[in-house]
Structure 1
Amino acid sequence: MSSAKWRVALLIFNGAWASTVYGSLELFHSVNLRQPKDKQFHCELVSANSQPIQLYGGQTIQSDAVIGDEPYDLIMLAHYWGDFQDLIEQYPTIPPWLVQQHASGARIAGVNSGIFWAAQAGLLDGGRATTYWRHLREFELRYPKVQWQANQASVEHSRIYSSNGQNASMDLSLHLVEKFCGASIAAGLARDISFDSRRTYDLNLINIAGFRQHRDIGIHRAQDWLDEHFTQSIELQHLANQIGMSKRTFIRRFQKATGELPSRYLQRLRIEAAKHRLGNTQDSIKTIGMGVGYRDISSFSKVFKSLADVTPREYRQRLRPSGVKHIDNDV
């Protein structure tokens, strides 16, 4: 038995993309190399049976283990290209295995189209996920009980993670490193491997996914709208009217469903977007604050510290290598 803290299964099957298998494997290996005396991850290539696996690029590989009762802390589901119905028929034991592992506490991460396995297992029914754009329509038709988030880079629902592109899959893996090992290790690793960490998206639903764990459809609609328009000046009365509620009813139902007032939820959306920009752009703190919806820097800094426990400047400094300075003349 390995002495590593966390056991990771990288599920492989015919048609899996090697880059999404080995990319994650090498990322976790890099974490181990940073702390050789305190190994974090024990990774295994796992398949449904002992037969050789032919990857998308034509290479044939053999798994390290076959699925069974062995528990894992994290299961990575590789991106694939092909007929998913054919995969289901080839590997009927994978979905029930995922159900068993998830019930035992495992986190499950589907890289792009790999999330289909979790949907097939029923683990996303009533929940949210994203996927590669080419597969989105197929997934919507096949799994109508899942709320597919086409415009989100990464989404989490009940310990199940999904991503919708090559850059997003790397971000997803880094996020999982943070979950298991902490922000400091994840930030250091990101600096080492990301020669261009800028992204075209700002908001990552992973950090606010807990506020979606309810069944109020009207409030889900309101949250969908806020997710898309959080940088704008928002009147709660206008939002309440859009979903057919009085302002008083809207506030009451929103707080009952999410545990937060709508105004506080909006602040969380803005601060999560600001965190991303602080870590991935050279924009000034004032520019970032105004860009996520705040009219002045003092309000932005006050809200940021109330939710992140540090100021925007301190948060950015945590993500910068020692000795690297960033000039913010406006704070």
Structure 2
Amino acid sequence: MKHLTLLVPDAQTGPNTISCIVGAYHVFTEANNYYKKQDKEPVFEIELVGASAQSSFVNGLLTVMPQVDIGAIRHTDLIIVPAIAAAFRKLEGLNELLVEWISEQYKKGAELASMCTGAYLLASTGLLDKKSCSIHWNAATNFKNLFPKVNLKPEKLITDEQGIYTNGGGYSFLNLLIYLVEKYYDRQTAIYCSKVFQIDIDRQAQSDFVIFTGQKHHGDEVIIKAQEYIEKNFSEKISMERLSEKFRVGRRSFDRRFIKATGNTPVEYLQRVKIESAKKELETSRKTINEVMYEVGYADVKAFREVFRKVTGMSPLAYKNRYNKLHGVV
């Protein structure tokens, strides 16, 4: 039987931390039970493992007492790192000890899986450098600044590279659990768990959940003014050459500063602003796709659809069908 470690952070926990731990325990326990019903040996021995006697959650409202101290675990096969507090800057408490232990276990052959902002702890090991990683879209900018060597892919729901798995945000950790069940058990068990827990199977992206607000905490006042100009005038035709001249910055320097500050080129930023406005219209109004397209400054249907799909992973019509309650109402 393999060993599954559900890591219990010592500090920097958030409300989703306990959800991840309980959810993982529940799903893998059910997968084991399903195997037993098929007269098969359970795949995992599941244990909650931590570096302290107990960890507090939700301002002390809830506590979790790990079953085993990390010092007693000599070998494990899969380590699941739950979400932590989103406002991560550096390791605190005994989490540093947990990170060192994760690194040691990976070298011994353990596979690693982080849920949502658990990627902060996983990235702190250095094991994610030059590897793909997903995280909640709202934490992407902070993560990029802290771990620039990681190949961040916030549009992905799940990444899988060299025995390291990561996933996007919120309760999408449930999709990662189903993915891992299929990896370690089989497809049929994954389908069974997806039905029991009512979790969509084979979901790949989180792009349509992203709410684009721009990144304005970078300190470059010129770029902030440029962002604000784009956000106020996005429906008009904006020349980036003229925009850079407006703020008295050379075009190359303007592009370089814009990318450094926001993570997007000026053209990409304009596209994101346009599409975010289009999404809101598609969610709340009875306007047609073409009406929305013209309102946000596109004249070519094909171009609008391509950019919309690039940003959200869906066509404008599919997006409207999913999110607009008024769609189809006479």
TM-score by length of 1: 0.55
For residues 25 and 203 of structure 2, the distance between their equivalents in structure 1, rounded to whole angstroms, comes to 23
Would you say 1:186 and 2:182 are equivalent positions? Answer: no
Q: Given the alignment, which residue of 57, 64, 67 partners 1:64?
A: 67
Contact persistence 1:46–1:63 (CA under 8 A): yes
The residue that corresponds to 2:5 in the other structure is 9
1:55-111 deviations in Å (ceiling 9; x for gaps): 236301211011125211111111122543464344221121111111111111100
For residues 159 and 199 of structure 2, the distance between their equivalents in structure 1, rounded to whole angstroms, comes to 24
Q: Given the alignment, which residue of 29, 52, 55 partners 1:49?
A: 52
The residue that corresponds to 2:82 in the other structure is 78
- Which of 22-31 and 8-17 deviates more? 8-17
The alignment partner of 1:88 has SS state of: coil
Q: How far does residue 202 in structure 1 lie from its aligned partner after superposition? A: 8.8
Contact persistence 1:124–1:157 (CA under 8 A): no
- Larger CA Rg, structure 1 vs 2: 2
1:34-69 deviations in Å (ceiling 9; x for gaps): 12252222111111233x200236301211011125
1:203-252 deviations in Å (ceiling 9; x for gaps): 9xxxxxxxxxxxxxxxxxxxxxxxxxxxxxxxxxxxxxxxxxxxxxxxxx
The alignment partner of 2:58 has SS state of: coil
Structure 2 gaps, min length 5: 208-330
For residues 195 and 157 of structure 1, the distance between their equivalents in structure 2, rounded to whole angstroms, comes to 23
1:277-303 deviations in Å (ceiling 9; x for gaps): xxxxxxxxxxxxxxxxxxxxxxxxxxx
The residue that corresponds to 2:28 in the other structure is 28
The residue that corresponds to 1:211 in the other structure is none
The residue that corresponds to 1:95 in the other structure is 99
Code of the aligned partner of 2:83: H
The residue that corresponds to 1:328 in the other structure is none
CA RMSD of aligned residues (A): 2.3
Q: Given the alignment, which residue of 123, 132, 137 partners 1:128?
A: 132
For residues 58 and 191 of structure 2, the distance between their equivalents in structure 1, rounded to whole angstroms, comes to 31
Contact persistence 1:8–1:44 (CA under 8 A): yes
The alignment partner of 1:92 has SS state of: helix
Map 1:1-331 → 2, pairs under 5 A: 5-13=1-9, 14=11, 15-16=13-14, 17-36=17-36, 37=39, 38-50=41-53, 52-56=54-58, 58-68=61-71, 69-81=73-85, 83-85=87-89, 87-194=91-198, 201=205
Q: How far does residue 31 in structure 1 lie from its aligned partner after superposition? A: 0.9
Code of the aligned partner of 1:137: T
For residues 84 and 129 of structure 2, the distance between their equivalents in structure 1, rounded to whole angstroms, comes to 22
Contact persistence 1:154–1:168 (CA under 8 A): no
- Which of 81-90 and 8-17 deviates more? 81-90
1:109-144 deviations in Å (ceiling 9; x for gaps): 100000111110000111110101222111101111
CA distance 1:197–1:82, change in 2 (3 Å): closer
For residues 86 and 195 of structure 2, the distance between their equivalents in structure 1, rounded to whole angstroms, comes to 34
Contact persistence 1:72–1:101 (CA under 8 A): yes
The residue that corresponds to 1:272 in the other structure is none
Identity of aligned residues (%): 23
CA distance 1:161–1:145, change in 2 (3 Å): same
Code of the aligned partner of 1:32: N
Contact persistence 2:52–2:69 (CA under 8 A): yes
Q: How far does residue 33 in structure 1 lie from its aligned partner after superposition? A: 1.3
- Which of 9-18 and 72-81 deviates more? 9-18
Which runs of structure 1 show a deviation greater than 4 angstroms over 4 or more consecutive aligned residues? 195-200
The alignment partner of 2:119 has SS state of: helix
TM-score by length of 2: 0.56
The alignment partner of 2:109 has SS state of: coil
Contact persistence 2:25–2:46 (CA under 8 A): yes
For residues 83 and 200 of structure 1, the distance between their equivalents in structure 2, rounded to whole angstroms, comes to 26
CA distance 1:98–1:196, change in 2 (3 Å): closer
